[in-house]
């Protein structure tokens, strides 16, 4: 049955469209709120070099592995692995990926909702950039996330936007929207980077970000770079495999992975160029994650462009708009994973499958959002629901899924299938595909295992 449905499936209409959609999945919080600060604190350009190496030897081979499974099977991720193996473990790797994607979606949408809320706040001058009261930004954020209604409403709005895109399908929904949003994201990135370079702290900020300091590089830094590459490229959450199932036969998988990796790394470096010159124009200490983008940056925008408040206002609005776009395109890719699964495995019409995913996500995301406020006292293993989803997905499910995918594609999957996918059916395997296979077999599983053990605190090297 899956075959019949599979053969009726649409593909992406253009190569640009599929690269932009996959890059849209990859570009997200990892690039904007984690990469710049990790880089600044870990040896600047030295870390960037190591990060790029991790993308090349770990991220891209795994991405190509997921592409190969998805495009070969031409069906949703759960079904794809079932088609390729009857073994009890390997046949379930896809189901696990679909579950991981859905799981991440439930808390990631909450953060996207915050970005939407901050976009509205910046538009309404609630950060006092254009004059008027300047709030205590830390307080502003704590009160916002603990509010029982507002963040939930913003999260719902974001999930519904994603719903209406997903329901339109691959070509008219995902592809069309990516072709508009991603170029818009690049334009905003450029405008913000140029504005930031005109702030007084530009030289100091760029030095902090780029000055290579190899003494900061330890084995732990390398592990952090590997973990960052893994998360930033959206691996092991079903997104990449699902999107690849819509790739046409003549799409070059290695070339596509390379382009996606390039765009993702470019955006991450640009985010650093935007953030640090502005931060160094103020006396605000940058932290990473939510406290960077929702607590430090509003103050930075307010102070760094002190002489021209209108510019600070514009930059803040554009920055949160950028964050909304970056997270929305990631949410869309997550939304598609369980939607394709429900539509194909249970033969639901696409609108119904999308609606089920939307409804379940809204329900769970509401609890995740409330766990930052009214439900904060409800804790499992010392964590509220939001932190629990973040921890379990990031530290356990993603590395475990990635490990299984690398083992499966590197060691179990029929070599002819893999070679066929990597070379688009050509008889002679070019050198790059041989490198990919070697890395997948001998390096990637081992590296992911290390990331997993270090993330769990089971093993730590100073």
Q: Which pairs from 198-203 meet CB under 8 Å and 24+ separation?
A: 199/277, 199/278, 199/280, 199/281, 199/304, 199/305, 200/281, 200/304, 201/276, 201/277, 201/278, 201/279, 201/280, 201/281, 201/282, 201/304, 202/277, 202/280, 202/281, 203/277
* φ, ψ dihedrals at 460, nearest 5°: -145, 130
Q: Which residue is nearest to ligand PHE (CB)?
A: 28
What is the nearest approach in angstroms of ligand PHE to the Cβ of residue 236?
10
Name the DSSP class of 148: S
Q: How far is the CB of 450 from ligand PHE (least distance, A)?
A: 20
**Closer CB to ligand PHE, residue 198 or residue 266?**
266
Q: How far is the CB of 168 from ligand PHE (least distance, A)?
A: 19
Count of other CB atoms within 10 angstroms of residue 415: 11
Residue 267 or residue 409: which is nearer to ligand PHE going by CB?
267
> Is the CB of 29 or the CB of 46 nearer to ligand PHE?
29
What is the CB-side half-sphere exposure of residue 39 using CA atoms within 13 A? Answer: 33
Q: Shortest Cβ distance from residue 101 to ligand PHE (Å)?
A: 7
Return residues touching ligand PHE (CB under 6 A): 25-26, 28-31, 104, 108, 231-232, 234, 239, 330, 333-334
Between 29 and 418, CB nearer to ligand PHE:
29
Structure tokens at 436: 């990919």
Q: Which two tokens stand for residue 439?
A: 């890395």
For residues 443 and 57, give the distance between their C-alpha atoms in angstroms, rounded to a whole number. Answer: 8
Tell me how long the chain is: 462
What is the closest distance, in whole angstroms, from the C-beta atom of residue 330 to ligand PHE in the complex?
Answer: 4
- For the bound state, the minimum distance from the C-beta of residue 323 to ligand PHE, rounded and expressed in Å, comes to 11
**Of 115 and 202, which CB lies nearer to ligand PHE in the complex structure?**
115
Nearer to ligand PHE, 73 or 239 (CB): 239
User: Nearer Cβ to ligand PHE, position 204 or 387?
Assistant: 387
Cα end-to-end span (Å), the chain: 53
Which is nearer to ligand PHE, 25 or 196 (by Cβ)? 25
Least distance (Å) between residue 232 CB and ligand PHE? 4
Which residues lie closer than 8 Å to 140 by C-beta, 6 or more apart? Answer: 121, 126, 127, 298
Nearer to ligand PHE, 309 or 394 (CB): 394
Least distance from C-beta 80 to ligand PHE, angstroms? 18
Asked if residues 233 and 405 have their Cβ atoms less than 8 Å apart, the reply is: no
Name the minimum Å distance from CB 373 to ligand PHE. 23
CA distance 154 to 146: 13
**Residues in Cβ contact with 10 at an 8 Å cutoff, skipping those fewer than 6 apart:** 169, 170, 171, 246
The angle, 0 to 180 degrees and rounded to 10, between the axes of the packed helices 253-279 and 45-54 is 160
How far apart (Å, rounded) are the C-alpha atoms in residues 152 and 125?
Answer: 22
Please, is 310 exposed, middle or buried when counting C-beta atoms within 10 Å of its C-beta (0-12, 13-18, 19+)? exposed
Query: Shortest gap between Cβ of 326 and ligand PHE (angstroms)?
Result: 7
Identify which of 91, 98, 22 has the alpha carbon closest to the alpha carbon of residue 63.
Answer: 22
Measured from the CB atom, is 274 or 334 closer to ligand PHE?
Answer: 334
């Amino acid at each position: 049955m899956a075959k019949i449905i599979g053969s009726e499936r649409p593909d992406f209409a253009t190569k640009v469209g599929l690269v932009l959609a996959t890059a849209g999945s990859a570009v997200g919080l990892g690039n904007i709120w984690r990469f710049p600060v990790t880089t600044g604190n870990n040896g600047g350009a030295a870390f960037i070099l190591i990060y790029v190496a991790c993308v090349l030897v770990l991220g891209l081979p795994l991405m190509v592995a997921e592409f190969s499974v998805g495009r070969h099977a031409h069906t949703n991720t759960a079904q794809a692995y079932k088609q390729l193996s009857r073994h009890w473990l390997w046949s379930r790797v896809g189901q696990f990926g679909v579950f991981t994607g859905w799981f991440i979606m439930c808390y990631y949408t909450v953060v996207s909702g915050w970005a939407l809320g901050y976009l509205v706040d910046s538009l309404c001058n609630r950060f006092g950039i254009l004059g008027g009261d300047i709030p205590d930004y830390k307080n502003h954020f704590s009160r916002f996330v603990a509010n029982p209604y507002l963040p939930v409403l913003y999260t719902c709005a974001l999930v519904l936007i994603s719903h209406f895109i997903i329901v339109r399908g691959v070509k008219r929904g995902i592809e069309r929207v990516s072709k508009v949003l991603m170029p818009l994201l690049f334009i905003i990135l450029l405008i913000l980077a140029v504005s930031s370079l005109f702030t007084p702290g530009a030289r100091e900020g760029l030095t902090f970000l780029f000055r290579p300091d190899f003494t900061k590089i330890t084995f732990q830094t390398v592990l952090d770079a590997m973990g960052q590459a893994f998360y930033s490229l959206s691996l092991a959450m079903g997104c990449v495999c699902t999107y690849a199932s819509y790739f046409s036969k003549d799409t070059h998988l290695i070339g596509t992975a390379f382009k996606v990796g390039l765009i993702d790394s470019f955006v991450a470096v640009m985010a650093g160029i935007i953030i640090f010159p502005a931060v160094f124009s103020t006396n605000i200490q940058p932290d990473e994650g939510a406290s960077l983008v929702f607590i430090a940056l509003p103050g930075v925008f307010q102070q760094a462009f002190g002489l021209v408040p209108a510019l600070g206002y514009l930059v803040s609005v554009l920055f949160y708009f950028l964050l909304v776009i970056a997270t929305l395109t990631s949410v869309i890719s997550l939304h598609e994973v369980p939607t394709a699964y429900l539509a194909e495995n249970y033969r639901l019409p696409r609108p119904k499958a999308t609606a089920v995913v939307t409804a379940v996500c809204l329900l769970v995301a509401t609890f995740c959002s409330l766990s930052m406020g009214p439900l904060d006292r409800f804790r499992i293993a010392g964590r509220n629901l939001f932190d629990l989803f973040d921890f379990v997905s990031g530290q356990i499910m993603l590395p475990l899924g990635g490990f299984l995918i690398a083992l499966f594609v590197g060691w179990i999957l029929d070599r002819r299938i893999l070679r066929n996918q990597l070379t688009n059916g050509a008889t002679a395997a070019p050198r790059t595909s041989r490198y990919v296979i070697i890395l997948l077999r001998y390096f990637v599983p081992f590296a992911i295992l290390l990331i997993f053990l270090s993330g769990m605190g089971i093993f730590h090297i100073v």
